[in-house]
């Protein structure tokens, strides 16, 4: 299983943002098995329940990675598994999505609360708005937003709200510090949801990790720039294997 990478998607948009990246990784390394696993299908916003379901469902001794919320969950699962996880990769993932006194590098709480209320009132419109936010900073944001929105799965309002509750409550700073295996965290300078300063904050949090910042790119950079991202991941995996 040590040649297997499991990628977890983000909130609301399903596997599309990771599919082209997964194929690009397979082409770069024919021995690397890349799978995209769906997030837990739960109506509960208890992050511990999400984490335990993933731990039960996913095989051990693999690489774990994810986009946005998926990266936060992968971080926690890597810390939970310790030596039973080969390494951690996160893409456009913030240890704390919602800002607070100890981590100001996130979405303001009032903004998140308004977004949550919008999802309660009109989930479809909220997903469309989210697609637009994910595409801000892209070379062609409108086309990217349409692509994201059209491929979004038809999740129930309860499932979407539960995912937002997990997103708001998560704090994976401790997990990133506790996990002793190799870590690569990739971020984008044009991301409208995860500020670029998270890159420096991650290194302050844990100096012994690899952090990469694409100077340009949206929150959906794994879909927008899959080959560049795949090359960065492949170089990191190769470096770890050589060590």
Supply 182's token pair: 């190799």
- 29 tagged catalytic: no
15 three-state secondary structure? coil
Task: Name which of 46, 55, 49 is nearest 8 in CA terms.
Answer: 55
Q: Among 68, 75, 131, 172, which one carries the catalytic annotation?
A: 68
Count CB atoms within 10 A of the CB of residue 59. Answer: 10
d(CA 72, CA 137): 22
Record the tokens describing residue 228, joined without a space.
């560049």
Tell me how far apart the alpha carbons of residues 75 and 41 are, in angstroms, rounded to a whole number: 19
Is 219 tagged catalytic? yes
Q: Please pick, among 15, 93, 135, 219, the residue that the annotation labels catalytic.
A: 219
46 is catalytic: no
Largest CA distance in the chain: 52
Residue 13: phi and psi, rounded to 5, are: -110, 5
Place of tokens 């050589």: 242
Nearest to 200 by CA among 113, 60, 104, 125: 104
Catalytic residue set: 68, 191, 219
């Amino acid at each position: 299983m040590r040649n297997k990478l499991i990628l977890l998607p983000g909130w609301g948009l399903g596997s599309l943002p990771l599919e082209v990246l997964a194929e690009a990784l397979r082409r770069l390394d024919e021995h690397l098995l890349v799978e995209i696993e769906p997030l837990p299908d739960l109506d509960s916003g208890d992050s511990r329940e999400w984490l335990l379901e993933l731990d039960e469902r996913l095989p051990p001794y693999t690489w774990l990675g994810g986009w946005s919320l998926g990266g936060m969950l992968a971080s926690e699962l890597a810390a939970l598994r310790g030596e039973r996880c080969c390494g951690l990769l996160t893409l456009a993932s913030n240890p704390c999505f919602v800002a607070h006194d100890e981590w100001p590098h996130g979405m303001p709480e009032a903004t998140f609360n308004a977004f949550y209320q919008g999802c309660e009132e009109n989930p479809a419109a909220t997903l469309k708005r989210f697609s637009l936010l994910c595409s801000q900073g892209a070379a062609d944001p409108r086309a990217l937003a349409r692509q994201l929105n059209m491929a979004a799965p038809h999740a129930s309002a309860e499932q979407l709200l539960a995912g937002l509750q997990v997103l708001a409550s998560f704090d994976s700073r401790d997990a990133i510090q506790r996990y002793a295996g190799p870590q690569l965290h990739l971020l984008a300078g044009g991301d409208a949801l995860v500020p670029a300063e998270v890159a420096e904050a991650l290194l302050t949090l844990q100096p012994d990790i690899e952090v990469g910042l694409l100077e340009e790119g949206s929150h959906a950079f794994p879909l927008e720039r899959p080959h560049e991202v795949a090359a960065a991941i492949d170089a990191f995996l190769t470096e770890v294997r050589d060590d």
